[in-house]
Amino acid sequence: MHLLRTTAFRWALVYLSLFILSVTLILGFVYWNTTSLMKERMDAEIRAESAELLGLYQNKGPMRFLERLRERVTGAGEGLYLLTDFTGRPIAGNLEHLPQAAGKDGGWVEFVYQTRVPDGFETHAARAQISIVAGGFRLLVGRDINQLRRFGRMMRQVLIVALILSLLLGLGGGIMMSRNMLRRIEGINRTSRAIMQGDFEQRIPLKGSEDEIDALAQNLNAMLDQIAHLMRGLREVSENIAHDLKTPLTRLQARLEDLTRSGNLNAAAKQALEESIGDARNLIEIFNALLSIARTQAGSGNLEEHDISALMNDVAELYEPLAQDKNITLILDIPPGIIATIDRQLISQAIANLLDNALKYASSNDEANPKVTMSLKRKEASLSILICDNGPGIPPEEYEHVQERFVRLDESRTHPGSGLGLSLVAAVAKLHKGAFTLGDNNPGLCAALTLPVKSR
């Protein structure tokens, strides 16, 4: 399972997005509020100082005003001051001229200016208020705002670094959480796959954390225990019924055969007995098939290495007389010497079931040359047993349905059978961890039993 497609990782991304949005909003609010507060305090100081100087000019006269202005310039620090006449010529202050952005009517202005440093000059930013003094004089009172802008840049850098760290830590945490969650979910999936492949004793591992996943695993394990108990009971009942009915049916068949060998029967009675023997034989075959399917689905198999090429040739040789009687051409395409780990008896039965079906339905073909093809295809990690006929075939929508027990389509009701042959083949494929599929032979049906093999 790809980590990026997991629900846990997607939820981690959603949480991370919300977290980053929250961090951005909080730090942005702090940045905006702090810089706004510092700017408001600076503007308040500038307004207060301008009002003080203007009041001093009005109340104490120009001389006291200039004296206080020179005092402010001497201990200015970050303060900026400039008094000009009506022509704009500087009279007092620590600036050489009014900024170009200054209007005739005064007001607030932001500008850059040159300030002396040990290595020469630096360009600084400033914010100031320009007031009109009596006689057309103009008074500039301002502050250097380089520190304020440096603080703003620092806050922006903090915001960016915080976002990057949040993203990295959030992604790392999300990946760790997703992997941990995925590891536990994969344990459930692994157990489910093992159970679907026939290992009904598998159970979901518990971590011991007693969290919601452990609680889910405990409930699923309890459910699997109950299902396994019910399946064992159903299998035992099916096997017991098959065994119990098979024995009296066998005895019945033997007694009927003994009666047919006696010479005291007329033709009608003898025919009735032979039909009864046939019915008994069919019933015994049905019970044998049910027992084989039950044992196969329970995982009972003797897996050993066998020459599957020779096995297929043996089955073909067994059915060759039947094909000749029905005037069916049996075509073999079986490479020699292919070895596979199989249950010989079950695979033989599966191949026989498929070949018997193919011969049965190929003979119902209206064409003059009915034929059945048996082939064996070897790939890198699998082999396919293909048995194809040119009979009427099966509609594609019925391919899965006919693999169920006792399923017979309306077209096949006229042919002998129990509807268990394909069910046994499907069970054998599952026991060998393979696959059983049906396809269109155009015309006819092609049945493929695919088995895994060790790579060469």
Do the domains spanning 8-152 and 304-452 agree at the CATH topology level? no
Helix H or strand E segment including 155? helix 146-196
- Helices 267-297, 212-261: crossing angle, 10 deg rounding: 160
Separation in Å, CA 95 to CA 7, 76, 84, 411: 65, 11, 10, 108
Cα(262)–Cα(452) distance, rounded to whole angstroms?
53
Q: Which residues pair with 341 in a beta bridge?
A: 305
Alpha helices (H) in 298-393, listed in sequence order: 308-325, 344-362
Question: Which SS3 state, helix, strand or coil, does residue 436 take?
Answer: strand
In terms of Cα–Cα distance, which of 294, 305, 308 is closest to 431? 294
Q: What is the pLDDT of residue 335?
A: 92
Cα(111)–Cα(102) distance, rounded to whole angstroms?
9
Q: What is the pLDDT of residue 374?
A: 93
Question: Which SS3 state, helix, strand or coil, does residue 145 take?
Answer: coil
Cα(424)–Cα(361) distance, rounded to whole angstroms?
19
For the record, the structure tokens of 87 come out as 């022509």
The amino acid sitting at 273 is: L
Give domain 304-452's CATH number out of 3.20.20.10, 3.30.565.10, 1.10.260.40, 2.40.37.10. 3.30.565.10
Question: Which SS3 state, helix, strand or coil, does residue 392 take?
Answer: coil
Q: What is the pLDDT of residue 116?
A: 76
Classify strands 137-144 and 120-133 as parallel, antiparallel or unpaired: antiparallel
Every domain of the chain and the residues it spans: 8-152, 212-297, 304-452
* β strands within 267-411, DSSP E: 304-307, 329-333, 339-342, 371-378, 382-389
pLDDT tens-digit profile, the chain (456 residues): 466 666 667 777 787 788 888 888 888 888 888 888 888 999 999 999 889 888 888 888 888 888 888 888 886 577 888 888 887 888 888 888 888 877 777 788 888 888 877 777 888 889 899 888 887 888 899 988 888 888 888 888 888 888 888 888 877 877 777 777 777 788 888 888 887 766 777 888 888 777 788 888 888 888 888 887 777 776 676 666 666 666 777 777 777 777 777 666 677 777 777 777 776 776 766 666 666 666 666 655 677 888 999 999 999 999 999 888 888 889 999 999 888 888 888 888 889 889 988 888 886 655 568 889 999 998 888 899 999 998 888 888 888 888 776 666 645 544 555 567 788 888 888 888 888 999 988 888 999 999 988 755
Q: What is the pLDDT of residue 101?
A: 73
| Residue 211: CB atoms within 10 Å | 11
For the record, the structure tokens of 429 come out as 């494929």
The single-letter DSSP state of residue 4 is G
Q: What is the pLDDT of residue 450?
A: 92
For the record, the structure tokens of 301 come out as 């198999």
Question: What kind of architecture, by CATH, is found in domain 212-297?
Answer: Orthogonal Bundle (1.10)
- Angle made by CA atoms 17, 23, 27, in degrees to the nearest 5: 150
Q: What is the pLDDT of residue 438?
A: 92
Q: What is the pLDDT of residue 24?
A: 83
Please answer whether residues 319 and 354 qualify as being in contact, where contact means their C-beta atoms are separated by less than 8 angstroms: no
Q: What is the pLDDT of residue 3?
A: 60
Q: What is the pLDDT of residue 413?
A: 43
For the record, the structure tokens of 284 come out as 């015994």
The amino acid sitting at 195 is: I
Q: What is the pLDDT of residue 455?
A: 58
- Does the domain at 8-152 match CATH 3.30.450? Answer given as yes
